[in-house]
């Protein structure tokens, strides 16, 4: 790479939150006229790296050079002025303003001290023309599809910044046609000599548009490689991490596979979330769900727990079809669900550990039948001891606990309801190693005591370790169901990396 | 959903036209410039402060202090003109500086302490009312000859209606307000804050300056409204203009502005004022109906517009979801 | 040691209350003297308890509403409506029980209207309750037909406002009973926990099986009921229904009482005892200012100053600054970054 000075280079950047390292000594180099994909699962450090580049976070260590000059952007606006523009998946424009106002917010052309709306509209039209977009620039942005909003966001970013463009999952909510339109714009910008950082979890798209790929995992740089000739399976294993030792597997009692299913899904699906799928979960069984981010994993769990309503299919519990239209109905069937986003969907931050533990049980009993204080304390103490929840005091607000301990409190909350069927969405994400092992042990323990479990995880080794069966999702479809000896990280990765017949050949 | 931005405004316009048709079909006399002139004069102070409230609500805030500020302005003017020999114009300047600074201070507290506008302006409401009580608890007449001069200025409309100075001031404030909202950076920033604060910040909108500016503007217009009110009543009274903030909010919402901010027009607020004025005029013409009907009808209109806006929001959310579903249903690999 | 937790947690409010009462006693030496005339207690202190009844009652309902991250602007207007209903029922010859039942029913209906807008239509509480705040006084006037409907000849209803029982004025007995009932129901059942949870994190509460909509509906209904009781007392006190002035600006006093009592406007943890103290603080201030010979209007300035102080103490900005002193600066930085993240 000695031929040309890189457009943007990141050297040895580290960042920690509350002493937990989010990014460790990462290097990243972007050339002018290059589309560089940044890949990794949740928590890999992609968004932390992007936020450091775009000025949203300050780095703890390392340097960022733009065209050879060290930069220290104070905030996102400062980074824009330096030449680094960003477009997010949730378009960060103002949908209540017109297209032209969005393009020129803060730098509207003036005439006699007033905004020259005609000039602004004319120039907006001219800018969008270069992207082949012929739309009414005087209409509110909300009138247009997300794809067009993305292009407007790109146009604004390029017009203001013009050197580096960061596209953070821009295609997540676009259809194939819209993706093509967006990619045409990206190719055009690449031809103009811009450097583009492209974040996506759609591997097909990465192969289509990117020139090189950088993979992060657990805050570390795994590798930077050119796309040409890169094997898909190798890429997936870089992202998910390949177990060097042989997969450790739990021995499974063959009799469980014969018993009647506790929960049966038949053709359960919701348009735009997950295609209809069939699945049986028996008592004493852990069913694992594997798949990349955005493959429909969480969406499946949300349908089963009644958070989202299915538009097709049925759920039966012990052979009886049930109406699963709200979490309350699911809980009444003995279901329990530990969500992925603990902070917004799980913990009730200002309430104490005790209150959080008894919360679901109390909600189930209704407000008229309160648990007495002594019952509450007994329950809380029992689970604090049983799950080894590290807290100085059961009356401490849960928001002050570490991630691992919060997760254990949420598990305790559901175990206190004595569920038949427990759904765990990424139960070990973002928690320390000790708690990690304990939660895995707990999953196995619960299963052996006859509970039915559905576990979603990106940690394939872990999933292989405790699952009786694993289903693999890709692009919101169930593509494979692995049982017995098929359960291995290799098989999962092959299923994830495999193509549809309609896709291009690898 | 092409016209969803204008739909509430159109609804306001339809309500206004219907109200006007009903009025003149029952009382043909209402179709005169005399009635129109009176309507504008009677509601001048409300209209002026409603322009300020429009900006506040467009930005996603609320200002409960305006009624108290109007009362303070009247009391301040009446006391200063009674006890000193300052010319009214100088007194106007002083009071406008005071109310503008008062608004700016509230804006500063809202931004820098990151507290809800509702509670901050509630404190402002108590403070302004309390200070006017401290100045005097009596109704103080204003007898300065300059006041009579100003009160005698009017423009004779065809048909004998009088467009008084204060009505003209209100119309000018509306005109300036429309230009400010639609043709300046400040105006766009106000809409930006009401649209999405995070996005606005990321796009480089000076949030602190804009927030302070909005409440300063509202304070200034409340002060101007107070001056107009003192011209209208020739007195200053600390108990005056109680509840004007609610009337102003109602005018803004009935004018089609979204109470949560981001969508709406200053011109709509003018229609909102006219609708309120029509209801009052109708009741006066009728003679048997009591004035409480005004509040009930305004309450009904408020509910109607809030429900309409909520319904529009649901529809646009649903269509956005459907758009996503439709796209996701197609294969994503090319 | 033997101090109950409830009192210990509300020490600042208690200190403020004691200081204000002490100041009152300095201004008016007879402040604490209580005497019995005609089998009823009299004295400034009793007066504070008596005059404070409407705000105290409103504050009880308002506390629960604010704990769910809501607000109820309509309570003053509901007082006016209920006062009008009570006056018109009793003057049309209905018995006292029928009048009271009818009045409470109307208050409940008003509360349910607000609750339905908030819980079912998902309209922001401040906007939803604004509707009734604007229209309420008009409705009240519609009921009284625009006059102050007096009932000087109905001693049974007047008794509610100015009678006495066990030597105590009726309003005091009523608010104390309502307060004890509310505290018992909220703290002896699981309602308090569920209300706080909704205020802190409505989504997580719903996902854990809490029926958030029903509870939201219930707290606004309770607020309507409390306003109804306050409305009847206010009407009985002046022996008539004044649609224009009954409960005027009392919603603001109630909100202030709740905030002084230590319940955050951002929802979550609430304290009914704190709100009661807040209401008493406001009423002692009112009485003290009167006793000192200041114009009663002075109150408003003091209230404004109190709000300002509370704002500064409670504001996220100064909380973060205080957290910065307690822990290290890093935590604060991360917090802001997390907030940004959440906002995105």
- Asked whether the beta carbons of residue C124 and residue B260 sit closer than 8 angstroms, the reply is yes
B155 Cβ under 8 Å from any chain C Cβ: no
Q: Identify the DSSP state of A343.
A: I
Domain residue limits, chain C? 42-296, 299-344
Say how far apart CA A35 and CA C187 lie, in whole Å: 60
CA distance B141 to chain C (A): 21
B172 Cβ under 8 Å from any chain C Cβ: no
Neighbours of A304 (CB within 10 A): 23
Q: What is the pLDDT of residues A100-126, one digit of tens each?
A: 999 998 888 888 888 888 999 999 999
Q: What is the DSSP string of B155-202?
A: EEPTTS-EEEHHHHHHHHHHHHHHHHHHHSHHHHHHHHHHH-HHHHHH
CA distance C269 to chain A (A): 8
Say how far apart CA B60 and CA B211 lie, in whole Å: 10
Of C89, C61, C63, C82, give the one whose Cα is nearest residue C233.
Answer: C82
- Asked whether the beta carbons of residue C209 and residue A350 sit closer than 8 angstroms, the reply is no
Residues 6+ apart with CB under 8 A from A44: A216, A217, A218, A219, A239
- Looking at the domain C42-296, which fold is it? ABC transporter involved in vitamin B12 uptake, BtuC (1.10.3470)
pLDDT tens digits in sequence order for chain B, 334 residues long: 445 677 888 888 988 999 889 988 988 888 888 888 999 999 999 999 999 999 999 999 999 999 999 999 999 999 999 998 899 999 999 999 999 999 999 999 999 888 888 888 988 988 998 899 888 888 899 988 898 888 888 888 888 888 899 999 999 999 999 999 999 999 999 999 999 888 898 888 999 999 999 999 999 999 999 999 999 999 988 888 888 988 999 999 999 898 888 899 999 999 999 999 998 888 888 877 777 788 888 888 888 888 887 887 777 766 665 554 444 433 333 2
Chain A CA closest to residue B186: A106
In a 13 Å sphere around the CA of A43, the CA atoms on its Cβ side amount to 16
pLDDT tens digits in sequence order for chain A, 506 residues long: 445 688 999 999 999 887 778 888 999 999 999 999 998 876 688 888 998 998 888 889 899 999 989 999 888 888 988 999 988 877 678 988 999 999 998 888 888 888 888 999 999 999 998 888 888 999 888 888 888 888 899 999 998 888 999 998 887 767 777 888 889 999 999 999 999 999 887 788 888 899 999 999 888 898 899 988 888 888 888 887 754 444 566 666 666 667 888 999 999 998 878 899 999 999 989 999 998 877 888 889 999 999 988 889 999 999 899 988 899 999 999 999 999 888 888 999 889 999 999 999 999 988 889 899 999 999 999 999 888 888 888 899 998 887 788 888 999 999 999 999 999 998 887 676 677 778 888 899 999 888 999 999 888 888 888 898 999 998 888 998 998 888 888 888 888 887 653 433 33
**Number of residues that make up chain C:** 344
- Asked whether the beta carbons of residue B192 and residue A94 sit closer than 8 angstroms, the reply is yes
Task: Answer yes or no: pTM beyond 0.90.
Answer: no
- Asked whether the beta carbons of residue B334 and residue A204 sit closer than 8 angstroms, the reply is yes
- Asked whether the beta carbons of residue A327 and residue C344 sit closer than 8 angstroms, the reply is no
- Asked whether the beta carbons of residue B122 and residue C252 sit closer than 8 angstroms, the reply is yes
Neighbours of A490 (CB within 10 A): 15
Question: Which domains does chain B show, CATH number per domain?
Answer: 7-324 (1.10.3470)
Chain A CA closest to residue C218: A367
Instruction: Quote the pLDDT of residue A177.
Output: 78
B288 Cβ under 8 Å from any chain C Cβ: no
Q: Identify the DSSP state of A344.
A: I
Under an 8 Å CB criterion, which residues of A touch B?
76-77, 80, 92-97, 101, 105-106, 108, 114-115, 117, 139-140, 142-143, 145-146, 156, 173-180, 202, 204-205, 208, 271-273, 475-476, 499-500, 502-504
Residues 6+ apart with CB under 8 A from B319: B1
Of C149, C280, C174, give the one whose Cα is nearest residue C229.
Answer: C174
- Asked whether the beta carbons of residue A350 and residue C191 sit closer than 8 angstroms, the reply is no
- B vs C, Cβ pairs < 8 A, gives 129
Of C323, C165, C300, C154, give the one whose Cα is nearest residue C232.
Answer: C154
* Residue to test with chain B: of C118, C125, C142, C307, most B Cβ within 10 A: C307
C266 Cβ under 8 Å from any chain A Cβ: no
Say how far apart CA C120 and CA C105 lie, in whole Å: 21
Question: Which domains does chain A show, CATH number per domain?
Answer: 8-96+140-240 (3.40.50.300), 268-334+420-499 (3.40.50.300), 347-418 (no CATH)
């Amino acid at each position: 790479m000695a031929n040309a000075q890189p457009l943007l280079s990141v050297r040895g950047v580290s960042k920690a939150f509350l002493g937990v390292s989010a990014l460790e000594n990462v290097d990243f180099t972007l050339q002018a006229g290059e589309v560089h994909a940044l890949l990794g699962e949740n928590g890999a450090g992609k968004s932390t790296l992007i936020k450091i580049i775009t000025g949203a976070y300050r780095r703890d260590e390392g340097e960022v050079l733009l065209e050879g000059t060290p930069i220290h952007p104070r905030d996102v606006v400062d980074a824009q002025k330096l030449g680094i523009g960003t477009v997010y998946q949730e378009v960060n424009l103002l949908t209540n303003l017109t297209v032209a106002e969005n393009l020129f917010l803060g730098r509207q052309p003036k005439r006699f001290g007033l905004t020259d709306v005609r000039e602004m509209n004319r120039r907006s039209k001219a800018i969008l023309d270069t992207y082949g977009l012929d739309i009414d620039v005087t209409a509110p942005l909300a009138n247009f599809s997300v794809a067009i909003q993305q292009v407007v966001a790109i146009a604004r970013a390029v017009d203001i910044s013009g050197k580096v463009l960061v596209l953070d999952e821009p295609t997540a909510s676009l259809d194939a046609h819209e993706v093509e339109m967006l990619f045409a714009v990206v190719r055009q910008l690449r031809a103009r000599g811009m450097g583009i950082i492209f974040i996506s979890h759609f591997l097909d798209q990465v192969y289509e548009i990117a020139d090189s790929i950088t993979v992060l995992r657990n805050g570390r740089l795994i590798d930077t490689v050119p796309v040409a000739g890169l094997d898909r399976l190798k890429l997936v294993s870089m992202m998910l991490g390949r177990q060097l030792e042989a997969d450790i597997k739990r021995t499974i009692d063959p009799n469980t596979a014969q018993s009647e299913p506790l929960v049966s899904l038949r053709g359960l699906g919701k348009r735009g979330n997950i295609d209809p799928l069939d699945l049986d979960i028996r008592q004493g069984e852990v069913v694992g769900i594997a798949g990349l981010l955005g493959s429909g994993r969480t969406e499946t769990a949300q349908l089963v727990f009644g958070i989202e309503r299915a538009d097709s299919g049925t759920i039966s519990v012990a052979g009886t079809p049930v109406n699963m239209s709200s979490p309350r109905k699911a809980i009444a069937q003995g279901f329990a669900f530990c969500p992925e986003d603990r902070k917004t969907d799980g913990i009730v931050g200002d309430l104490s550990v005790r209150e959080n533990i008894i919360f679901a049980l109390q909600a189930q009993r209704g407000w008229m039948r309160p648990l007495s204080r002594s019952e509450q304390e007994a329950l809380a103490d029992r689970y604090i001891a049983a799950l080894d929840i590290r807290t100085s005091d059961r009356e401490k607000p849960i928001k002050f606990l570490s991630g691992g301990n919060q997760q254990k409190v949420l598990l305790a909350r559901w175990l206190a309801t004595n569920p038949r069927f427990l759904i765990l969405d990424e139960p070990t994400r973002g928690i320390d190693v000790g708690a990690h092992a304990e939660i895995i042990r707990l999953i196995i323990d619960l299963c052996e005591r006859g509970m039915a479990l559905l576990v979603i995880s990106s940690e394939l080794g872990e999933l292989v370790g405790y699952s009786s069966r694993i289903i693999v999702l890709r692009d919101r479809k169930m593509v494979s169901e692995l049982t017995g000896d098929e359960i291995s990280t290799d098989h999962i990765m092959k299923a994830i990396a495999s193509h549809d017949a309609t896709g291009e050949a690898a | 959903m092409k016209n969803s931005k204008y739909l509430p405004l159109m609804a306001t316009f339809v309500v206004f036209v219907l109200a006007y048709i009903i009025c003149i079909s029952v009382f043909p006399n209402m179709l005169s410039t005399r009635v129109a002139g009176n309507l504008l004069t009677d509601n001048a102070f409300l209209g002026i402060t409603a322009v300020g409230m429009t900006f506040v609500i467009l930005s996603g805030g609320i200002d409960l202090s305006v009624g108290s500020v109007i009362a303070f302005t009247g009391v301040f003017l009446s006391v200063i003109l009674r006890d000193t020999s300052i010319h009214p114009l100088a007194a106007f300047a002083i009071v406008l500086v005071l109310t503008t600074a008062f608004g700016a201070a509230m804006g500063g507290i809202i931004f820098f302490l990151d507290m809800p506008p509702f509670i901050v302006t509630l404190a402002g409401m108590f403070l302004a009312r309390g200070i006017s009580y401290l100045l005097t608890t009596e109704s103080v007449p204003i007898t300065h000859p300059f006041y009579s001069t100003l009160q005698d200025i009017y423009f004779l409309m065809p048909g004998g209606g009088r467009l008084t100075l204060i009505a003209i001031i209100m119309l000018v404030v509306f005109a300036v307000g429309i230009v400010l909202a639609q043709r300046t950076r400040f105006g766009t920033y106000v809409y930006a804050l009401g649209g999405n604060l995070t996005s606005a910040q990321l796009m480089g909108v000076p949030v602190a300056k804009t927030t302070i500016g909005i409440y300063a503007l509202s304070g200034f217009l409340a002060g101007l409204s107070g001056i107009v009110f003192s011209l209208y009543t020739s007195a200053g009274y600390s108990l005056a203009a109680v509840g004007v903030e609610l009337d102003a909010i109602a005018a803004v919402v009935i004018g089609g502005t979204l109470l949560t901010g981001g969508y709406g027009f200053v011109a709509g607020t003018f229609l909102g004022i006219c609708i309120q004025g029509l209801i009052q005029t109708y009741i006066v013409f009728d003679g048997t109906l009591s004035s409480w009907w005004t509040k009930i009808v305004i309450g009904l209109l408020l509910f109607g517009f809030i429900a309409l806006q909520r319904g529009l929001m649901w529809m646009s959310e649903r269509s956005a979801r459907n758009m996503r579903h439709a796209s996701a249903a197609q294969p994503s690999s090319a | 040691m033997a101090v109950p937790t409830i009192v210990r947690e509300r020490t600042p409010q208690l200190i403020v209350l004691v200081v204000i009462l002490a100041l009152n006693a300095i201004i008016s030496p007879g402040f604490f003297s209580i005497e019995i005339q005609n089998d009823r207690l009299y004295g400034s202190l009793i007066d504070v308890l008596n005059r404070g009844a409407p705000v105290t009652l409103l504050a009880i309902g308002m506390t629960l509403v604010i704990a769910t991250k809501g607000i109820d602007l309509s309570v003053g207007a509901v007082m006016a409506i209920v006062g009008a209903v009570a006056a018109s029922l009793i003057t049309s010859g209905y018995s006292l029980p029928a009048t009271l039942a009818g009045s409470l029913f109307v208050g409940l209906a008003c509360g349910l209207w607000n609750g339905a807008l908030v819980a079912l239509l998902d309209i922001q509480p401040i906007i939803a309750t604004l509707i009734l705040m604007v229209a309420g006084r008009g409705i009240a006037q519609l009921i009284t037909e625009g006059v102050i409907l007096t009932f000087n000849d109905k001693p049974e209803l007047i008794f509610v406002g100015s009678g006495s029982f066990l030597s105590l004025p009726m309003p005091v007995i009523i608010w104390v009973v309502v307060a004890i009932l509310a505290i018992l129901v909220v703290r002896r059942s699981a309602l308090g926990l569920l209300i706080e949870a909704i205020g802190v994190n409505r989504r997580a509460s719903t996902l854990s099986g809490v029926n958030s909509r029903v509870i939201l509906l219930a707290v606004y209904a309770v607020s309507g009921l409390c306003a109804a009781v306050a409305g009847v007392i206010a009407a009985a006190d002046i022996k008539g229904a004044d649609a224009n002035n009954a409960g005027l600006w009392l919603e603001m006093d109630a909100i202030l009482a709740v905030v002084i009592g230590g319940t955050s406007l951002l929802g979550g943890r609430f304290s009914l005892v704190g709100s009661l103290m807040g209401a008493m603080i406001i009423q002692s201030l009112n009485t003290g200012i009167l006793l000192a010979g200041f114009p009663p209007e002075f109150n408003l300035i003091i209230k404004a100053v109190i709000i300002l102080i509370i704002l500064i103490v409670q504001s996220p900005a100064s909380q973060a600054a205080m957290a910065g002193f307690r822990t290290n600066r890093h935590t604060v930085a991360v917090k802001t970054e997390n907030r940004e993240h959440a906002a995105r």
